[in-house]
């Protein structure tokens, strides 16, 4: 946290007679971001590397490889045949990827639910041969390795 901001918080707290413990709590809360969901400007190298592998596999139509290397959560959502059919339908309707631009990267530390643990949700604005869309990649950290937990594409070209 910026030293000037911290100094200003201290001065403000003293002006309003805030107890020292409350002041310390406020400073820590602000410096730690107060949240478990954090919007990121950059993507850690390990996460970017996993996205690179997954997108290369999608582009090369290695759908079984994606399925086998994904997290259990990904495999629980659909059997291999169904997952492969979805990828093939996406490829048939949208065509190959021409360009992906990172739209957002959200880091989460979840204490429960399907996505328990350290998670990154990356959204890309993607240009395909036959249209535009948004790709969502959800990665989860397991044993110091990032795995694909969910993948979703939304595009008007997929309707119908």
Does 79 share its domain with 61? yes
Can you read off the two tokens belonging to residue 8?
């200003």
Does 90 share its domain with 130? yes
Please count the structural domains in the chain. 2
Q: What are 137-160's pLDDT values in tens digits?
A: 999 999 999 999 999 999 999 886
Domain range for 97: 38-158
Query: Integer distance in angstroms from the first to the last C-alpha of the chain?
Result: 50
| Radius of gyration of the chain, Cα coordinates, nearest whole angstrom | 21
Does 120 share its domain with 136? yes
Does 86 share its domain with 26? no
pLDDT above 90 (res 35) = no
Can you read off the two tokens belonging to residue 160?
């119908």
Pick the range with the lowest mean pLDDT from 1-5, 59-63, 144-148.
1-5
Tell me the CATH number at 57. Answer: 3.10.450.100
Per-residue burial over 49-81, b = 16 or more CB atoms within 10 Å of its CB, e = otherwise: ebbebbbebbeeebbeebbebbbebbeeeeeee
Predicted model pTM: 0.73
Q: What are 65-98's pLDDT values in tens digits?
A: 999 999 999 999 999 999 999 999 999 999 999 9
């Amino acid at each position: 946290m910026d030293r000037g901001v911290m100094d200003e918080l201290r001065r403000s707290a003293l002006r309003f007679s805030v107890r020292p413990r409350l002041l310390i709590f406020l400073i820590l809360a602000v410096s730690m971001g107060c949240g478990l969901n954090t919007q990121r400007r950059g993507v850690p190298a390990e996460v970017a590397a996993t996205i690179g592998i997954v997108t290369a596999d999608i582009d090369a139509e290695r759908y079984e490889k994606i399925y086998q290397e994904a997290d259990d959560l990904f495999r629980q959502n659909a059997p291999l045949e169904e997952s492969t059919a979805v990828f093939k339908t996406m490829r048939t309707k949208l065509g190959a990827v021409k360009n992906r631009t990172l739209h957002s990267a959200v880091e989460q530390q979840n204490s429960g639910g399907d996505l328990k643990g350290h998670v990154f949700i990356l959204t890309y604005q993607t240009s395909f041969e036959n249209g535009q869309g948004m790709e969502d990649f959800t990665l989860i950290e397991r044993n110091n390795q990032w795995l694909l937990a969910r993948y979703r594409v939304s595009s008007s070209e997929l309707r119908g």
